[in-house]
Structure 1
């Protein structure tokens, strides 16, 4: 009998932990979308209360920039939500965590950073060997 405990192989990617991560990221993204939508609606509402004359209003250009900035953040968050939904679909089908180009496993660190990733780092960078 040895004093060294049996070493276990590294666990395979567990669908339940991937699902938990995707669901948590999805919830966070939905919250971000709701907050950005409130911000956007507030900007639009505030502009409706003032005379719209961007050319002569010193605040006009900054308000337009703020509205465009929030709209861009909102659009990106919606894209991220769609990516997460597609990732959940891939998880259900059993092909989550596999590169859609080369078929290799996507490293866990990449999936933690980008849960909706569809490509490994090499393929995402366009560098196929």
Structure 2
């Protein structure tokens, strides 16, 4: 896989993750705004999830998106540095199949665990 293709895939993933993070932030903000003037006691509502639980789920999605963005940015930096596709443990090439499945991989299969 050539570096142009790698960068294109990583940039596309970066855009996808940025959109997910923005959506998550907007959902949290909307939830906070919607519950701001409410006096609902959702902690004792037997009908469903609490607002706190739903907010925590949305914040976890946002946190996951931020971690994924950091992984993608680090992979793009490795491409720029010429170290993309090299195992950070043993220094051997990471197989193309692994990079196809996980473009942000920093370790070969042997050292992935």
For 2:61 and 2:8, the matched residues in 1 are separated by 25
Structure 1 residue ranges (4+ consecutive) displaced by more than 6 angstroms after TM superposition: none
For 2:60 and 2:85, the matched residues in 1 are separated by 28
Q: How many aligned residue pairs are there?
A: 113
What are structure 2's unaligned runs of at least 5 residues?
Answer: none
Question: TM-score normalised to the size of structure 1?
Answer: 0.78
What are structure 1's unaligned runs of at least 5 residues?
Answer: 1-12
- Residue 121 of structure 1 pairs with residue 104 of structure 2: no
- Residue 38 of structure 1 pairs with residue 26 of structure 2: yes
Shift of residue 109, structure 1, vs aligned partner: 2.4
Matches within 5 A, 1:8-27: 13-27=1-15
Q: Would the aligned equivalents of 1:22 and 1:115 in 2 still touch at CA under 8 Å?
A: yes
Larger Rg: 1
RMSD over aligned Cα, in angstroms? 1.8
Question: TM-score normalised to the size of structure 2?
Answer: 0.88
